[in-house]
Amino acid sequence: MRVASVALLVAFVPSVALAEETFQGDVAVAATRFKADTQRSDFVGLGGNWFFAPLPVDPKDYPLNEVAFVERVGFVNAAYSWISSDIDNEQRLSNGSSFNATARLRQPGSPWVATVSAGVADSGKFRGSSSDNRTKTTFYTLDLGAYVAKATTLSLAWSQSKADFTASGPAPSTSTDTFTALGVSGRHLAYLPNGEHVAITAAISQIRHEQPAAPTAKNNDFSLVAIYYPSKSLGLTLGASTNRGDDSFNEGETYTAGAQKFFTPLFSVSLTYQHFDAKAANGDNNIVNLQAALRF
């Protein structure tokens, strides 16, 4: 999650782009707005990647956004976000934050890909009618896969997140919700006539929701996302997913649309909109993300 002064980033782009033929890192800033029926949250974040080998600034025959995927170069990533939320009928006492780190291991000439990530998030502290509360979340993911063709991967992924809710006051309490997912996914970058490309990602997973004094709920999630590249510098995203199962609160359809534009081979801006159409009443939410990134 990542935004800052676009003007400041643009000021540095022209001289860098002309001087460099490769890049090995990037930094991104973003702003995100989450809005649901009873909650609104704003995120402002900073993140970056460091690649294990230099990458071409301006590849000749594939999109700028796909350079690390096509060249099979791994990276490490870290991101931090500041979070400010407003919840109906509750007073915000402090803001929240999140931090996550990722390592993707792959190298040219080898088909294997391994990704590990971990993160923590703190919602901030809130005061209700009779108690103060906050939610702290930790998550871990492991993804193992391989290139089965030049620009095609298949992978098996496991992830787990734990949300610890704590309430203080006359009747203090704690509870933990654990979500564990196991799934498979595939990604393919297709070369189209006239220099166009499309990247397609499909995934299927089962999510187990465990919570105190309740039976384990199992939901199945199916997703399909396509990025159409009419040129190397522009990517247009459309995606949809459906979630069905025992956990009715998380059942529904998610729709995604977005665009990413490289104004130079080193500087890009992206805008993404996501809508969750919940099966449960009053469960819909919307997410808008604006991000600017600079390669170096």
Q: What's the CATH code of the domain at 281?
A: 2.40.160.40
Q: For the chain, what is the domain count? A: 1
Confirm whether 188 is domain-assigned: yes
Confirm whether 23 is domain-assigned: yes
Can you give the pLDDT at residue 129?
87
Residues 69-110: tens digit of each pLDDT? 999 999 999 999 999 999 999 999 999 999 999 999 999 999
Confirm whether 1 is domain-assigned: no
In the chain the first and final C-alpha atoms are separated, in Å, by 19
Residue 26, CB half-sphere, CA atoms under 13 Å: how many? 22
Confirm whether 160 is domain-assigned: yes
Can you give the pLDDT at residue 130?
85
Confirm whether 221 is domain-assigned: yes
Residue 216, SS3 per DSSP: coil
| Residues of the chain predicted below pLDDT 50 | 1-20
Residue pair 207/244 in contact (Cβ under 8 Å)? The answer is no
Confirm whether 62 is domain-assigned: yes
Can you give the pLDDT at residue 193?
87
| pTM summary value | 0.90
Confirm whether 170 is domain-assigned: yes
The boundaries of the domain holding residue 231 are 6-295
Phi, psi of 41 (to 5 degrees): -135, 140
CA 227, CA 71: separation in Å to the nearest integer? Answer: 18
Confirm whether 194 is domain-assigned: yes
CA 141, CA 127: separation in Å to the nearest integer? Answer: 32
Residue pair 77/49 in contact (Cβ under 8 Å)? The answer is yes
